[in-house]
Every structure is written in C-alpha cells, then in structure tokens.
C-alpha cells in the first residue's frame, strides 16, 4: 500500500474518539446519548451496542471502508476488465476527482461481463494529482455507502487496492443537468422536464437535511439524470455532517464553486442547511433563465446571474426578461412567476429568511406537468459526460476565489445563525419517504472532514 495512503490512514485514526466543536477538537464522552438527545446524525453513528467501546488503537482507512458492508469490493483487475482496460472509447468524462469510464459488470457480483450485457456502471478513477484526494474519496464512500434515496446516485462499490482508488456507480444515461442546459448542440429541456428535475433534486437535498447532512456542493454538474430525467445528486466529496446538539452551524474551511456558495458561508466559513438552500436557488435560477451562475462573456453587469436577476424576480412587469429563450414561448407565465418567487426566497441574503427544503418541495409539487413528460423524452446520447465537467473546481483561497486545484482554504470566523435542519420530532424531512431506505447507522469512527 502506498505510503501516502498509510499516512492518511494513521492520521484518520487519530480523529477517532474526538469531535469538532466550532473548529476545535475536544475529547468525546463515552456514555450514550439519551433518547431525548438523539438526532438522525447521532443515530447514524451508533452501529455499536451500548456495551461496545471505541478501540484504543488508531483505526485505519481500511477499517472505515469495511463498515460500508453493503458495498461491493472490486479488485483493480475487475474494473480494468469491466472498462476494457480503461480504453479511450470507454471514457465518458472527467472532473475534480479524475477520469470516468463506462463499464459492464455482473448483475450480482464484481466480475466484468461482455459490453452491452450485465449491469452498466460508471467507474470513477481517482487522479492522485487532482483536486480531490483520499479524504474526499472516503467521504464519498462514507455518505453514499450508507445513505440511500431515490434521488441520490447509487454507489455500487469501490476499489482500494495498492495506490488505486476507484468508485463504481449506477450509470446515468442522460448525463448532467449542466450539459443539457449549457452545452452547445444540446436539445433544450422543456418546462415540464425542468420542473421535474428541480423537484427531484430538491427531494434529494430534503432527504440529506433530514439525515443532518449538508451537501455543500450543489450545482448543475452534480445533478445527474437517468433515462426519464429523474434527478440524482452525485459527488459527495465535500459533504459534511451538520451541527450537533444545540450548535447552530458547522465551522469549516470555505470550499465550493464560485457562484453557488451562500454569501454568509463565503464570509464566515459557517455552514448550515440554509447554505444548501441558497445553492439550490442559484441552480433553480439557472434552469429558469438558461444562464450560468457566472459568465464573464456576458455584458458588464450581467456576469453574476443572481445579482443581475434580483431586480426582475419580484417585478411582474419585467419578469419575462428572465425566461430562457430556449423555452420558445411554451412556458406558462403564471407558473414561471411562482417559480421565480421561490427562487427569490431561496436566494435571500438573510439565511434565516430562506425556506427549508421541505417547504421548497411543497412549492414545486404544484408546478409539475407530469402528463407532458412522456412525449418530451429525447433520444439518449450515451456519449454524454455523466459527471462534472473537465473544468477545474473553483475554490476560495485566502478569501478569494481561485480556479486552481488548491486545498489551502482559510478557516471561517465565528458567526451565529439558524441551523436550518427540520426537527425529527416535527416530521420534517424529505417527502416521498417511501422511496428511500432506512439508513444503516454510521459507525462511531469519524474522520476530520473539512
């Protein structure tokens, strides 16, 4: 096993038995939470019985992986065969993680099968020199290995052999929302399909917030679409557990993508579920307007989509200026006005004024035009990149946004605002709850995620 992975595993083990409190590390208590104090987050961590104790020796990265027992463990040879030796015609895209290849595996195992048979998968291969590293790779396994929902992309398994780090997902044949909205030559999405995608993505976020998880990287390239345009969230490398107990936020290094991050998070480094709500508002506005969140090719004053759109969002006489020309007059204006009002609420500068994801789902449901979807399905393009684009992930470095793959982001400062998570007692959470599986409780072993 490579020395960098061994060193990382050792560092990972030192985090066991500790928890973060507003950026500081303090010893954790050994007694179990009382029933009244339990949250979805603490329940997920308790895979040990009350008589179990944390091991005194450092836990390796391999031990963390073994806790995701529902995932298939692939050998590098399995995936090399499944992708036909990672040959160029199996390549379907690349992102901050590395290259993505299309492959075929046995329906119930790990063996490769003949192309076109068995189960079609997307194989992400970690680039050791890329933006994302072992920490993000483990975060992906940790979250997607234990959280299951109709609107989250399914992680089938992983490979952690020698220096190789790969993840195996269900294949999403229609690629990313980003490609459908912005790539030249793509057929325009109809109003009905846009509303369906928005609802599916909102349901995925609502589920995560119910599980006290903050996604932190909600953007069009991370929303993947299956054959009937069902939206599924992907790329959990930056996801974080939400605040525990009476804490209102999580203090973290500022990371994400320029144009999508909530202003209070950029200013303070304090993360809440309402930070995700702001990002949802940006994506929803992109879907309404057909414009990117940041586009310096546009005239001065229109580079930042949110700031350009704000004056029109509440003005019924000028709101038509926001409509994506590709909708070509088929957009119902009353529905568009309601959608614009929802986007405006999500984009409130005051985080406390933003709706939670449960409310957003409730407002999106009346905007669905399900009877029109079937006749609007477009031919599949199996060469579509189903994962984030090849552009480097923009980061915030030393208070400024940078387009380089650099992890040296500053820590946030102290600032308080509302948690934003729905209370388990109130029944808040993702609608359509019959569509997700009960999450296996996550192990007490934790690693110091950003």
The encoded tokens of residue 368 equal 């669905």
More confident residue, 119 or 37: 119
> What residue numbers does the annotated binding site for ATP cover?
124
- The fold adopted by the segment(s) 72-170 is Phosphorylase Kinase; domain 1 (3.30.200)
Helices 273-289 + 191-210 axis angle, to 10: 170
Closest Cα partner for 92 from 80, 101, 82, 79? 101
User: 177-435 has which fold?
Assistant: Transferase(Phosphotransferase); domain 1 (1.10.510)
Measured distance CA(450)–CA(443) in Å, rounded: 18
Q: How far is CA 318 from the centre of its chain?
A: 33
Beta bridge partners of 102: 122
**Cα separations (Å) of 264 from 69, 237, 269, 413?**
38, 21, 8, 11
Spot the catalytic one: 33, 162, 217, 226.
Answer: 217
Cα separation of 418 and 390, whole Å? 35
State pLDDT tens for residues 390-440. 444 444 433 343 333 333 333 333 333 334 444 433 334 333 433 334 344
Which segments of the chain belong to CATH 3.30.200.20? 72-170
Q: Cα separation of 19 and 385, whole Å?
A: 38
Is residue 89 annotated as part of the catalytic site, yes or no? no
- Write the pLDDT tens digit of every residue in 205-260: 999 999 999 999 999 999 999 999 999 999 888 888 777 666 667 767 788 888 99
Please state the pTM of the whole predicted model. 0.72
- The half-sphere exposure of 189 on its side-chain side, counting CA atoms within 13 A, is 27
Lowest mean pLDDT among 71-80, 241-250, 286-295: 241-250
Does 99 or 246 have the greater pLDDT score? 99
Sequence ranges of the binding site: 124
- Phi and psi (nearest 5°) for 368? -75, 140
Paired residues of 19 in beta bridges: 26
- State the average pLDDT for the chain: 75
Percent of the chain at pLDDT > 70 equals: 64
The pLDDT assigned to 40 comes to: 55
Q: Residue 139 in contact with residue 65, Cβ under 8 Å? A: no
């Amino acid at each position: 096993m490579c020395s960098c992975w061994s060193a990382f595993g050792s560092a990972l083990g030192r985090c066991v038995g500790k928890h973060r409190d507003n950026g500081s590390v303090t010893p954790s208590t050994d007694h179990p939470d009382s029933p009244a104090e339990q949250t979805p987050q603490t329940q997920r961590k308790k895979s040990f019985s009350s008589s179990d104790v944390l091991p005194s020796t450092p836990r390796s990265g391999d031990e963390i992986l073994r806790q995701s027992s529902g995932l298939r463990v692939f050998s590098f040879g399995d995936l090399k065969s499944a992708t036909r030796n990672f040959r160029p015609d199996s390549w379907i895209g690349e992102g901050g993680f590395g290259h993505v290849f299309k492959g075929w595996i046995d329906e119930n195992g790990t063996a490769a099968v003949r192309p076109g048979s068995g189960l079609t998968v997307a194989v992400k291969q970690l680039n050791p020199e890329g933006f994302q590293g072992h920490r993000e790779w483990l975060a992906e396994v940790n979250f997607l290995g234990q959280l299951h929902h109709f609107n989250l992309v399914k992680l089938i398994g992983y490979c952690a052999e020698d220096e190789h780090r790969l993840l195996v997902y269900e294949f999403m044949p229609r690629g990313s929302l980003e490609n459908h909205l912005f790539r030249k030559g793509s057929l325009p999405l109809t109003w009905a399909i846009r509303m369906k995608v928005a609802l599916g993505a909102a349901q995925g976020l609502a589920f995560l917030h119910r599980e006290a998880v903050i996604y932190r990287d909600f953007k069009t390239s991370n929303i993947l679409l299956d054959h009937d345009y069902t939206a599924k969230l992907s790329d959990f490398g930056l996801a974080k557990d939400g605040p525990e107990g009476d804490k209102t936020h999580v203090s973290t290094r500022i990371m994400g993508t320029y144009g999508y991050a909530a202003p209070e998070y950029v200013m303070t480094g304090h993360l809440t579920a309402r930070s995700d709500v702001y990002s949802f508002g940006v994506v929803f506005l992109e879907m309404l307007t057909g414009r990117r969140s940041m586009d310096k090719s546009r005239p001065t004053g229109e580079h930042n989509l949110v700031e350009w759109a704000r004056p029109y969002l509440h003005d019924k006489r000028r709101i038509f200026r926001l409509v994506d020309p590709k909708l070509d007059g088929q957009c119902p204006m009353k529905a568009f006005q309601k959608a614009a009002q929802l986007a405006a609420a999500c984009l409130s500068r005051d985080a406390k004024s933003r709706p939670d994801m449960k409310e957003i789902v409730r407002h999106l449901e009346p905007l669905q035009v399900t009877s029109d979807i079937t006749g609007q399905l477009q031919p599949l393009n199996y060469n579509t990149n189903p994962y984030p684009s090849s552009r480097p992930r923009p980061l915030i470095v030393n208070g400024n946004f940078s387009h380089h793959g650099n992890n040296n982001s500053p820590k946030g400062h102290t600032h308080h605002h509302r948690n934003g998570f729905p209370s388990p007692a109130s029944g808040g959470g993702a609608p359509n709850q019959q569509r997700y599986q009960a999450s296996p409780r996550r192990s007490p072993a934790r690693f110091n995620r950003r």
